[in-house]
Amino acid sequence: MSMKGLEELDFEERYYKDDPQLEMESIDEFIVMISQVIGQHFDRGERPARRDAHAFDMGCVRASFVVESDLPAELQHGVFSRPGKSYEAWIRFSNGNFFPTSPRSPDARGMAIKLMGVEGQKILHDEQFTQDFILINHPNFFVNDLKDYIEVLRKYLEGGFWKQWVLAPLRLRSLRLIWIALRVNLTIASSPLARRYWSMTPYKFGDGSPPYAVKYTAIPELPIPGLLQRIRNVLAAGFTPQRAMQAMLSRNEDVRFNFYIQHFVDSHSTPIEDTSVEWREDVAPIHRVARIVIPRQDIMSKERGEDCEDLSFSPWHSLPAHKPLGLINRVRKKVYLAISDRRHALNGVEPREPVVREPEEVQ
């Protein structure tokens, strides 16, 4: 049995069903399925070729990611090793669906952060100076079995209300997981800048011995509107999430998020492999490690949209000190890279690594 291409396990990780060959074959099945779907839509004239999930952005912003200046020594690892350090960043806010939907429709929401100018060897070699953090609008994921994940995604990518909202969730075979899936995908967001986001999946934190694991969360300083207010906002004439973001970013005040970590506690309450279990804050308190500052800017231009579409995000664009952990992240490593290559090739665009702006470009 060939072990080529398998990810080396770390910190309480376990292969799917303790079978590394089964895990590898299942991930390959993912890649073939998604590549075929993307190719079929491209062949039907749907251009450009898009990501299989979070295919449509709600806007990309330039930001600063500023490490806390008084960070304790035990938290100074990786990009957090220099208290007070500021990184330039791209942040892509996105819908979850592969298909275009009404801007008022409920959906999963994503916040993908790409730090630039990050020195040090990276786990993936397609980008040399970036560190990505991938966050979603819910603290836990609705899948804890790889084969179920494949079947859910297969049905979801067929599109249509019945398949996406009824048949796909039923593939989960658990009322608890179905409920999580509905909560993730029925989010009503009146502005991506006024939502909280979580990593869902765990990450190694530091190179020390023994190592430990964390999850991430980003909390806006803006008030998070309640459900009734969000409904009123999305029903307003001319509403789109991008316009709501632009309205906030046209003001003189910066928009800010606080960025936190949660520490692993034990394999029962904060498991590594089962991302369907929430790491509750009464068990694993959050600790602020950075601030995100989004200055006034225009996100509505055609050029900004093209820049946003060309970006590739992966939790494996990472320093070893922030190595992604767990099955879902191991799936992401190969799938994200393969799908990025696939869509860039179909679109005739060379993948590019964004770079830090020259000083005179900084506003």
Mean pLDDT of 157-186: 92
Mean pLDDT of 337-360: 83
Is residue 297 a contact partner of residue 157, using CB atoms and an 8 Å limit? no
User: For residue 307, what pLDDT is reported?
Assistant: 85
User: For residue 1, what pLDDT is reported?
Assistant: 38
CA angle 21, 27, 28 (to 5 degrees): 90
Supply the DSSP string of 150-194, one letter for each residue. Answer: HHHHHHHTT-SHHIIIIIHHHTT--HHHHHHHHHHHT---S-GGG
**Is the pLDDT higher at 160 or at 290?**
290
User: For residue 309, what pLDDT is reported?
Assistant: 82
Task: Tell whether the model's pLDDT for residue 59 goes beyond 70.
Answer: yes
User: For residue 184, what pLDDT is reported?
Assistant: 93
Element containing residue 203 per DSSP (H, E): strand 203-204
Q: What is the pLDDT of residues 185-214, one digit of tens each?
A: 988 988 999 999 999 999 999 987 667 899
Count: domains in the chain: 1
Structural domain contains residue 335: yes
Take residue 23 and report the two structure tokens written for it.
């895990």
* CA pair distance 289, 292, nearest whole angstrom: 10
Half-sphere exposure of 65 (CA within 13 A, CB side): 26
Task: Tell whether the model's pLDDT for residue 55 goes beyond 90.
Answer: no
Q: How does the average pLDDT of the chain come out, rounded?
A: 92
Structural domain contains residue 248: yes
Structural domain contains residue 9: no
User: For residue 358, what pLDDT is reported?
Assistant: 52
Structural domain contains residue 42: yes
Structural domain contains residue 216: yes
Task: Tell whether the model's pLDDT for residue 363 goes beyond 50.
Answer: no
Structural domain contains residue 112: yes
Task: Tell whether the model's pLDDT for residue 362 goes beyond 50.
Answer: no
**Is the pLDDT higher at 207 or at 354?**
354
User: For residue 5, what pLDDT is reported?
Assistant: 58
User: For residue 361, what pLDDT is reported?
Assistant: 40
Half-sphere exposure of 42 (CA within 13 A, CB side): 18
Q: What is the pLDDT of residues 75-120, one digit of tens each?
A: 999 999 999 999 999 999 998 888 888 999 999 999 999 999 999 9
CA dihedral 189, 133, 27, 342 (to 10 degrees): 80
Q: What is the pLDDT of residues 19-37, one digit of tens each?
A: 999 999 999 999 999 999 9
Q: Of how many residues is the chain composed?
A: 363
Task: Tell whether the model's pLDDT for residue 355 goes beyond 80.
Answer: yes
Report the range out of 54-68, 153-167, 276-290 with the highest average pLDDT: 276-290
User: For residue 60, what pLDDT is reported?
Assistant: 94
CATH of the domain at 233: 2.40.180.10
Q: What is the pLDDT of residues 314-334, one digit of tens each?
A: 999 999 999 999 999 999 999
Structural domain contains residue 10: no
The range of the structural domain enclosing residue 124 comes to 16-358
Is residue 335 a contact partner of residue 51, using CB atoms and an 8 Å limit? no
pTM: 0.94
Structural domain contains residue 319: yes
User: For residue 257, what pLDDT is reported?
Assistant: 98
